[in-house]
Amino acid sequence: MWELIRANRRKSIALFIVMGLMLMVLGYLIGEAYWPRGGGVGGLAVALLVWGIWSLVGYFAGDSILLKSSGAKQVTPDVHPQLFNVVEEMKIASGLSHMPKVYIIDSPAPNAFAIGRTPEKCSIAVTAGLLAILNRDELQGVVAHETAHIHNRDIQFMTYAGIMLGTVVLISHMFLRSLWFSGGRSSRYRSRSGNRNSGQGQAIVMVVAIVFAILAPIMARLLYLAISRRREYLADASGARFTRYPEGLASALEKISGSKEDLKTANKVTAPMYIVNPLKGKGKKLANLSSTHPPITERIRILRSMAGGAGYADYQSAYEKVHGKKSSVLPQSALADKSAVPVLIPGQEEMAGAGQKSSRREFGDVVRAVNQYLFLFCAGCGLKIKVPPEFKKKQFPCPRCKTQIEVPLAEMATVGAVLESVDQGRQETQKDYDMVYRRKRSEWESFRCNCGKTIQLSPHFSGNYLDCSNCRRKIKIELPQI
Amino acid sequence: MLGYIIVIGLIIVAAMFVIGAYNSLVRLRNQVKNSWSQIDVQLKRRHDLIPNLVETAKGYMKHERETLENITEARSKAMGADSVKEASKAESELSGAVSKFFVVVENYPDLKANQNFLSLQEELTSTENKIAFARQSYNDQVLFFNNKIQMFPSNVIAGMFNFKEADYFEVETQAERDVPKVDFGD
Ligand SMILES: [Zn+2]
Ligand SMILES: [Zn+2]
């Protein structure tokens, strides 16, 4: 494993040297173009200063800036126990020494990212939309991919390479803009100050600087993208290895790519950090060259072609199968790991079609929990009840079984009084259900779902609905008429 | 004179070798212990969760006394195990009993709709996963350690100081496949 991280680091250093040289040449040329004879050194210094400040900011505050600007909120395990469990599972599977902090972004666009200066101080953020549409295995796949970025030390690379790229882009942009606005004046000033010869030389320097200022950001971007895309493949491969279940991530990517939502808090600089490109609308035509991520459909196809096992070698051969040619996508050090990693066979396939309706309810739950709602469970029937922060009564009867429920007021702010329960508070319309069954008596009884599956009801059944275990139809159960 | 120097030199080299090999054996044994404690935490967690699960399910599953008794029995057997070998056998039986239980639960929609039950099911699923992932890294450590004990020349030192091979934590493949899966958002 250490081999893999070392190989990653070597590649990063090579990239940083090339990009750093580009930045320095750019600064020098611009300096020379503006202030002939000696201005180059000044320009170089300015370029390095800008880069140095950005890097310091990125080092000390990079994660908090990204987390804040994306609207992520740190959450405690009770907000979403399953998410915490899955993160901890992946921490164990990848052998990380510390548990990453967990953030939820209040956005319906399904996406996720990991950020942090060191593996010990890392955070994983997922959107509420992601939690809403993925089942457990899929969520595990996504978290595994993000954990792999932490494990493979990709985050630091993404952050610093992104900052360097940003500096090159910024400086070129400022230079070209300043020419556009003050081009005429500066050339007049120049022709007066120097003789004809140096004026001509100056014009050549200016042209070279302009050409370089146009080309450098493009080259730097292509270089950056080539490597960041490779890291996406590697994170997919590591993720599959950690979970030993490539289908989880494949199916998650499929669901995420089906979403039409744009993540509004993402931008060009932060886009490469996400599991899939959060900016869907832009740059579609140049997808192959200018995308930070490999095409999603290709990532899915590779994961689904991993027939033999869940190891790195299996991912590599799946990649070759999809592309129909021999080419290495993973570093040699990863492939040296020859140990067989068997794929887990899921116990039950039923969750694949888990209904969208219950998911939407879950999405609301998550958003409310992020906004400090209190969740209480009825001691009598187990009903989950959401109590908004404004609720101020000490106790209230359970909407379903009338057991008195105590409200731990200390944990809540006390203004207003609204009670909302999961099942009763919701506007129930017939459309929410695929089928209605009215109970004849409150004893053991059985009926047939429209799919043909026999469903048994016990005398204790007190819910409003149930999901058919065969076809996932949501069946409303009405009480017997007395 | 020269003879003495050579003899003393050889003794020093041999002593350094013994110390080095001994230290690396101790380090590996500690790593094995540490990985085991990672599994142990999760096994204990599972033992704690099961009585709650049985208690919650009891009211709903009047006709499944046998299934519930099997789980309770497998749990107390697993808690009584005091070697890795015994534990791995008892725990895989417990995994089997739990996954059988979750298959039976499919017939009780009202139990499946109970929120207490659902959160217990999530905790148990996650604990099963954590055991499986922690087992992987434990077994890797055991492999390193046992190789060191078996191979020359460290096997000599291991024999001198009575280092014993560690046991793998093995789970029947069947039980591993039956790790219970939860439906998201039900
Ligand atoms: Zn990624
Ligand atoms: Zn109740």
Segment A144-187, tens digit of pLDDT:
999 999 988 888 877 888 888 888 888 888 888 887 776 544 54
Most confident of A24-38, A193-207, A231-245, B130-144: A231-245
Chain CA centroid to CA A206, Å: 43
pLDDT tens by residue, A288-325: 445 667 788 888 888 888 877 777 888 888 888 887 77
Residue in B106, B110, B133 nearest the CB of A461: B110
Helix (H) or strand (E) holding B69: helix B65-80
The secondary structure of residue A101, as a DSSP letter, is: E
Q: How far is A342 from chain B (nearest CA, A)?
A: 11
- A403 touches B at CB < 8 Å: no
Those residues with Cβ within 8 angstroms of residue A80's Cβ, 6 or more apart along the chain or in another chain: A104, A131, A366, A369
Q: Maximum Cα–Cα distance for chain A, whole Å?
A: 107
Rounded distance, CA A252 to CA A231, Å?
Answer: 19
DSSP string, B90-149: HHHHHHHHHHHHHHHHTT-HHHHT-HHHHHHHHHHHHHHHHHHHHHHHHHHHHHHHHHHH
In angstroms, the separation between the Cα of residue A274 and the nearest Cα of chain B is 23
Strand partners, A116: A122
**Phi, psi (rounded to 5 degrees) for A66:** -65, -45
For residue A374, what is the enclosing H or E element? strand A374-377
pLDDT at A214 over 60: yes
From ligand 1's centre to the CA of A241, what distance in Å? 15
Mean predicted confidence (pLDDT) in A118-145: 90
Lowest mean pLDDT among A260-264, A360-364, B113-117: A360-364
Q: pLDDT (tens digit, 9 = 90+) per residue, A53-67?
A: 888 888 887 778 888
Q: Which residues contact B69 (CB under 8 A, 6 or more apart)?
A: none
Ramachandran category for residue A270: left, alpha or beta (phi over 0 → left; psi -120 to 50 → alpha): alpha
Distance CA A204, CA A198 (A): 10
pLDDT tens across A264-294, in order? Answer: 777 666 677 787 777 655 444 444 445 667 7
Q: How far, in Å, from the CA of A60 to the mean position of ligand 1?
A: 22
Contacts of A95 in chain B (CB under 8 A): 137
Between A2-11, B35-44, B73-82, B168-177, the lowest mean confidence (pLDDT) is in B168-177
Is A89 catalytic? The answer is: no
Confidence of residue B162 (pLDDT cuts 50, 70, 90): confident
Q: Which of the residue ranges A35-39, A77-81, B34-38, B57-61 would you say has the lowest mean pLDDT?
A: A35-39
A287 vs A473: which has the higher pLDDT: A473
The verdict on pTM exceeding 0.90 is no
By percentage, how much of chain A surpasses pLDDT 70? 68
Among A146, A232, A261, A349, the active-site one is: A146
Residues of chain A positioned with their CB less than 8 A from the CB of B123: 81, 85
CB of B147 less than 8 A from some CB of A:
no
Q: Are A445 and A406 in contact (CB under 8 A)?
A: no
Compare CB distances from B113 to A86, A132, A466 and report the shortest one's residue. A466
pLDDT over 80 at A211, yes or no: yes
The answer for residues whose C-beta is within 8 angstroms of residue A155's C-beta and 6 or more apart is A114, A115, A116, A122, A149, A273
The answer to whether the beta carbons of residues A240 and A246 sit under 8 Å apart is yes
Please give the average per-residue pLDDT across A239-263, as a whole number.
Answer: 85
Residue with more model confidence, A467 or A115: A115
Model confidence pLDDT, tens digit, residues A379-401: 677 676 767 666 666 777 777 77
* Whether the Cβ atoms of residue A198 and residue A36 lie closer than 8 Å to each other: yes
